[in-house]
Amino acid sequence: MDWTLIFSRAVESGIGTEAVIYALAAIGLNVHFGYTGLLNFGQAAFLAVGAYAIAVTVSTFGLPFFLGVGIGLLLAVVLALLLGIPTLRLRADYLAIVTIAAAEIVRLVVRSVALEETFGGTDGIQAFSDSFYGLNPYPAGQYNLGSIIGFDERTMWVLTVGWVLVAASCFVIYLLMKSPWGRVLKAIREDEDAVRSLGKNVFSYKMQSLVLGGVIGSLAGFIFALSRSAVQPDLFSTELTFYAYTVLILGGAARILGPVVGSAIFWALLVLISTGLEEAVNSGVITFITVNQVGPIRFMLVGLGLILLLIFRPQGIFGDKREIALDAR
């Protein structure tokens, strides 16, 4: 078994594009769920909106890349408003169902044949990331970080932008959650009526939270699209949202760095296990499963991990048990 390969892949994944994407998605969810107590099960829709905004603007309409970014941010705001207006006055579980439904609507619309000309159907859209990579300051080549891991210049560029976005988002959340604004959100998470009785417009704050988390989710969508130079509708399924929840809870909800650490550990572990198993199967150490069965196993472990986390350590790695939203009712 090639232990170096296993560990280098794991570390690469822990700081790689997947980790960045899920960190951003989970930071958004942290604003919704961790701080405000909103059960948004449609985070995938915000990622899809971000990713498709760039792809459609550049590839379908031939407009500039940064216009696509702007449109993506704008559409994320619009989507949050559309989701929030009907549901934020209702019970928490309604928001869950409406957001999950909305995410499916977005996915089904962009994969539809009727709109294939615009969204590319099930194949999605390619060829929109040239101007992004045109800005790449890294000369072509392989960049080794430490002794065992390395990325090519394109990945380096995506990762640089991605981690800068992660850092910036965390900093903004840090400022907000230290402020009276964040205090109102945390109060809403606990008891809306109490907050209302103190003269705060709860609906408005929930909406602001939904918009902020959604916009951060669309950033994840940008990185998702750019890192693959392609978008496909089925990447934005409900499972993406659920994995983002796993990442969030693993790291610790209502903690600034919770989603970031959660994402790094999630991907490093996932790849460690799957590469380890593949290697074990290939080298004949494990004989009772095939390489094809390694994929399902790693997702089974995700599910199992989520169950065990919630039962035995709902506060995650970083969280403070006294301050999580999970049992606030």
Partner 1 sequence: MRRAVIAFTAFLGGLIFLLASSTTMAWADGEGLKGTLRNQGQPVNGVKISVADEGNAPVADATTDAKGEWKIPVPKAGTYKVTLDQTSLPQGVSLKFKDRATLTVQVFEGNERNVLFALTSGNAGGENGTGTDATPSESSQYWTRVAQLGFEGLSLGLVIALGAVGLSLIFGTTGLTNFAHGELLTMGAFIALIFNTAGLHLLIAAPLAVIVSAGIGYAQDRWFWGVLRKRKTGVISMMIISIGLAIFLRYLFLFLFGGSGRPYEQYVAQEGIAIGPIFATPKSLVAMGIEIVVLIAVGLALLYTRIGKATRAVADNPALAASSGINVDRVVRIVWAAGTAIAALAGILLGMQQNLTYQMGLQVLLLMFAGVTLGGLGTAFGALVGSLIVGLFIQLSTLWIPPEMKTVGALAVLIVVLMVRPQGILGRRERIG
Partner 2 sequence: MHADEAVANRKDGAQAVFAGLATEPGVAKPDPILVVDNVVRRFGGLTAVDVAHVEIQRGSITALIGPNGAGKTTFFNQLTGFDNADSGEWTFNGRRMNGVSAHKVARLGMVRTFQLTKALSKLTVLENMRLGAQNQLGESFLRALIPSLWRKQEDEITERAEELLQRFKLDAKRGDFAGSLSGGQRKLLEMARALMVKPELVMLDEPMAGVNPALTQSLLGHVKDLRQQGMTVLFVEHDMDMVRDISDWVIVMAQGKVIAEGPPDTIMSDDRVIDAYLGAHHDAPLSAEEEERQLAEAEAALVAEAGLASGAGPNETVTTRKEPVDE
| Residues in contact with partner 2, shown as a per-residue x/- string from 288 to 327 under the rule CB under 8 A | ----------------------------------xx----
Give the residues across from 144 on adjacent strands. Answer: 150
Q: Is residue 92 a contact residue for partner 2 (CB under 8 A)?
A: no
Cβ proximity to partner 2, 160 vs 201, nearer residue: 201
Q: Is residue 187 a contact residue for partner 2 (CB under 8 A)?
A: yes
Binding partner of residue 198 among partner 2, partner 1, none, CB cut-off 5 to 8 Å per kind = partner 2
**Among 175, 291, 300, 310, which residue sits at the site for partner 2 (rule: CB under 8 A)?**
175
185-193 long-range Cβ contacts below 8 angstroms, 24+ apart: 185/31, 185/35, 185/36, 185/209, 186/35, 186/36, 186/254, 188/36, 188/37, 189/35, 189/36, 189/37, 189/325, 189/328, 190/37, 190/328
Cβ proximity to partner 1, 67 vs 301, nearer residue: 301
Binding partner of residue 312 among partner 2, partner 1, none, CB cut-off 5 to 8 Å per kind = none
Q: Least distance from C-beta 92 to partner 2, angstroms?
A: 16
CA angle 51–89–81, rounded 5-degree value: 25
Q: Which helix (H) or strand (E) holds 55?
A: helix 43-55
In angstroms, rounded to a whole number, what is the distance separating the alpha carbons of residues 140 and 155?
A: 11
Q: Nearest to residue 107, comparing CAs of 245, 238, 244, 291? A: 238
Binding partner of residue 239 among partner 1, partner 2, none, CB cut-off 5 to 8 Å per kind = partner 1
Q: Is residue 329 a contact residue for partner 2 (CB under 8 A)?
A: no
HSE of 263, CA atoms in CB hemisphere, 13 A: 26
Binding partner of residue 9 among partner 1, partner 2, none, CB cut-off 5 to 8 Å per kind = none
Question: Among 10-18, 45-53, 110-118, 188-196, which window interacts with partner 2 (CB under 8 A)?
Answer: 188-196
Q: Least distance from C-beta 124 to partner 1, angstroms?
A: 12
